[in-house]
Amino acid sequence: MPTQEHMKQVLQTYIDAFNAGDAAAISGLYAEDAVIEDPVGNPPMSGRAAIEEFYTNAIAGGAKLSLDGPIRGSHGDRAAMAFTIDIPGMRIRAIDVMTFGADGKIVRMDAHWGPDDIAKT
Amino acid sequence: MPTQEHMKQVLQTYIDAFNAGDAAAISGLYAEDAVIEDPVGNPPMSGRAAIEEFYTNAIAGGAKLSLDGPIRGSHGDRAAMAFTIDIPGMRIRAIDVMTFGADGKIVRMDAHWGPDDIAKT
């Protein structure tokens, strides 16, 4: 199982790489067959190619991420973070939970944000 | 599926009932056969009686909860919140994810906090 330090560093790298516009660096944090459900309740997508395209599009839309507070670990294979996504004209509040594989890659990401968590700015 | 408003209200009631010392009100938010894994990675506990005992003990320990930011919904049956647990001499930072049943009760709670998310105060 990955260490707490590793999982938290991966989530911080996720934020930093996103804000640096580096979709390839983000997709590299994921396992090849990882699944992301963003938002929870929508059909999940899987595979690193689809994941990289997802982040490429999000970055192209001008989104920037900022943590609402410290990244949390667990006593198992998961870590979580509450953050704010600022897109020109829009703000989304989300909580992401990442599940890790034994090799330290993210195998699953669940993004919790609902229709009421988007506001015009 | 419960509405976003319902799920967010349940999470707010959870915080308020905890801070009011009302373990029965919290356990009443759960389904009879609900499962809680707190923290994620420890053996889960199930059933409303065990759940009420868990909250009774937490409240007796003097814990108080404060939200770190707005409660998040989803496009499905889940809601999440980042919060801080202040216990005399200790602070824990956690992110809880609640999964709801069709009747609006919580069927599962996952609490994300690791050994590094506890600090002496």
| Structural domains in chain A, sorted by start | 4-120 (3.10.450.50)
The pLDDT tens digits for A26-74 are 999 999 999 999 999 999 999 999 999 999 999 999 999 999 999 999 9
Separation of alpha carbons B7 and B77, rounded Å: 8
Active site residue B14: yes
Told to judge if A30 belongs to the known catalytic residues of this protein, a careful annotator would answer no
Mean pLDDT of B99-107: 98
Please state, rounded to an integer, the average pLDDT across all residues of chain B: 97
Mean pLDDT, range A10-16, rounded to an integer: 98
Closest Cβ–Cβ partner in A41, A79, A82 for B75: A41
pTM for the full predicted model: 0.97
Nearest by CB: B82 against A39, A69, A77: A69
B74 lies within 8 A of chain A by CB: yes
Residue A1 has pLDDT above 90, yes or no: no
- Which of B75, B92, B98 best probes binding to A when mutated, by most A CB atoms within 10 angstroms? B75
Check B72 against A81: CB less than 8 A apart: no
- Residues ≥6 apart with Cβ < 8 Å to B92: B84, B85, B113, B117, B118
A113:B74 CB<8 A: yes
- B73-106 burial, b at 16+ Cβ within 10 Å, e below that, comes to bbbbbbbbbbbbbeeeeeebbbbbbbbbbeeebb
> Closest by alpha carbon to A90, among A55, A70, A63, A111?
A63
Which amino acid is it at A74? S
Q: What is the predicted ipTM? A: 0.96
CB A44 within 8 A of CB A34: no
What mean pLDDT is predicted for residues B70-77?
98
Q: Flag whether residue A46 sits within 8 Å of chain B, measured between CB atoms.
A: no
Residue A103's alpha-carbon distances to A24, A30, A99, B55, in angstroms, are 19, 10, 12, 36
Residue A39 contacts B, CB cutoff 8 Å: yes
